[in-house]
Amino acid sequence: MQIFVQAFTGGFDASNPSTNVVERVAAVAERAGPAGVVIGWNTATDYLPIVERLHDVGRQVYLWLPVFSEYGPAASSALDYLGQPHQGAVSGADDDFSFACPSQKANIGLVVQYYQRWFVRYGFDGVMLDKIRFSSFGNGFRAGLGCFCPSCQEYYRNAGVPIDRLAARLQDELNKSWLMPEARVGLGYRFADPLVDGFYCARAKLITQAVTTIVGQFRQLNLRVGLDVFAPPFAYLVGQDLPALADLADFIKPMTYRVTDSPAGIPYEAAQFKAELTANRCPIGSQLEELWATDDLAGRACYDSQLKLLAGLDCAVLPGVEVNHLPICATSPAYVESSLSAIDRAGLAGAVLSWNVLAEVVYPELD
């Protein structure tokens, strides 16, 4: 089983980036014996010593990079169906969860531009691309439905989706039960309302097309590519077609975070999804749980079901497993060991110890 560890050095412009990164990451790497490290994305951090040190002992080093978030005024914000910029989700982590429009070429090009400006000199083996999605309902109801800017509206019209009619329905119709998924189809959903079903299908293709372009640019730089994606119950709802994305990558890292009460964590996303839809006259109830044949999307039985489906993808799958004691994702050695055992039994390639081993030392039981 391949084990990677993930280390967050701070946002692009963090005024207080992580210190002693080389020694701290090296200590974790030596203790856990991983195949490699995923690290980023602060621009003030000198990554050369850690890359060289890990290469000397045969470890891979991937640069962790966001795609449609974190770029501030350099990116054009996504707009909701009322034409308002999206609001960011509140996070206990030191990063930004406001999202940019994924259809605009300038936004699509930002991640490669930042790589070439700030990181190309360090000799990374690859990149792991994060935030390759639309906002989730953790950013609010309107943001959770994606981007309705002029560029996205043109895309939807060309895809045969009457986006004006959808926007009008969202504004005018009080009962929005038509937004509920009707059935689970593999790692995605089908919606009974043809307009909504076509909309979700098109938005997933939009994200796949943008990621295809970005992956191609990094391939031209002779880099391997990993993709950070949502856990299966929520991936399609943020525009991620997991089989299509898996076809583009060397590995994907589903964020199957079962205790994280923060964006991307299953408990957080489940609660926000239910709360936002319910507050906006879409009585979702336990519909997602029923579609996954569970009473708890973060429970062990549902976790095993997700891993079984992920095993069918056409690339290496390395699910994320939290290893922190932080209040938003407090875990234990038993939790980590149980998760890794489930991943191994499912026949997956390995795991990524997430989301930030710089916050504290990884568990010694993982030797």
Q: What are phi and psi of 61, to 5 degrees?
A: -130, 120
Question: How do 224-230 and 188-191 pair as beta strands?
Answer: unpaired
7: CB partners within 8 A, 6+ apart: 18, 21, 24, 25, 28, 37, 38, 39, 356, 357, 358
pLDDT of residue 225: 98
Cα 185 off chain centre by: 20
* Mean of pLDDT values over 260-286: 96
Cα 366 off chain centre by: 25
Which residue type, as a one-letter code, is found at position 273? F
Q: Which residue has the tokens 């991943």?
A: 343
- Residue 34, pLDDT above cutoff 90: no
288: CB partners within 8 A, 6+ apart: 181, 233, 270, 273, 274, 297
**How buried is residue 56: exposed, middle or buried, by Cβ count under 10 Å (0-12/13-18/19+)?**
exposed
pLDDT of residue 37: 94
- Residue 260, pLDDT above cutoff 50: yes
Kindly indicate the confidence band of residue 363, based on its pLDDT and cuts at 50, 70 and 90. very low
- Beta-bridge mates of residue 188: 185
According to DSSP H, which parts of 230-299 are helical?
Answer: 232-235, 242-246, 266-279, 287-291
* Residue 254 CA: distances (Å) to CA of 139, 231, 274, 316, 356: 20, 5, 21, 11, 15
Kindly indicate the confidence band of residue 367, based on its pLDDT and cuts at 50, 70 and 90. very low
Encode pLDDT of 81-99 as tens digits.
999 998 755 554 555 678 9
Question: Prior bond to 292 cis, omega within 30?
Answer: no
**How buried is residue 165: exposed, middle or buried, by Cβ count under 10 Å (0-12/13-18/19+)?**
exposed
User: What whole-number distance in Å separates Cα of residue 301 and Cα of residue 297?
Assistant: 9
158: CB partners within 8 A, 6+ apart: none
Kindly indicate the confidence band of residue 32, based on its pLDDT and cuts at 50, 70 and 90. low
pLDDT of residue 360: 59
pLDDT above 90 covers a percentage of the chain that reads 81
What tokens appear for 333 in the block? 């050695």
Over the range 231-269, which residues count as b (16 or more CB within 10 Å of their CB) and which as e?
Answer: bbbbbbbbbbbbebbbebbbbbbbbbbbbbebbbbbbbb
| Strand ranges, E, within 272-356 | 316-317, 320-322, 350-354
Q: Regarding predicted confidence, which is higher, 87 or 61?
A: 61
- Residue 64, pLDDT above cutoff 80: yes
Q: Which domains does the chain have, with CATH numbers?
A: 2-366 (3.20.20.80)
- Residue 33, pLDDT above cutoff 80: no
Half-sphere exposure of 115 (CA within 13 A, CB side): 26
pLDDT of residue 366: 46
Out of 2-6, 10-14, 107-111, pick the least confident. Answer: 10-14
pLDDT of residue 19: 73
Angle between helix 300-310 and helix 333-345 axes, rounded to 10 deg: 40
Element spanning 5, H or E = strand 2-8
| Strand ranges, E, within 209-319 | 224-230, 251-255, 316-317
* Mean of pLDDT values over 104-108: 97
Which residue type, as a one-letter code, is found at position 244? A
pLDDT of residue 362: 47
Q: Mean pLDDT across the chain, nearest whole number?
A: 92
Kindly indicate the confidence band of residue 327, based on its pLDDT and cuts at 50, 70 and 90. confident
User: What whole-number distance in Å separates Cα of residue 38 and Cα of residue 20?
Assistant: 16
Give one word for 79, left, alpha or beta, with left for phi > 0 and alpha for psi -120 to 50.
beta
Q: What are phi and psi of 350, to 5 degrees?
A: 165, -150
Q: Regarding predicted confidence, which is higher, 220 or 28?
A: 220
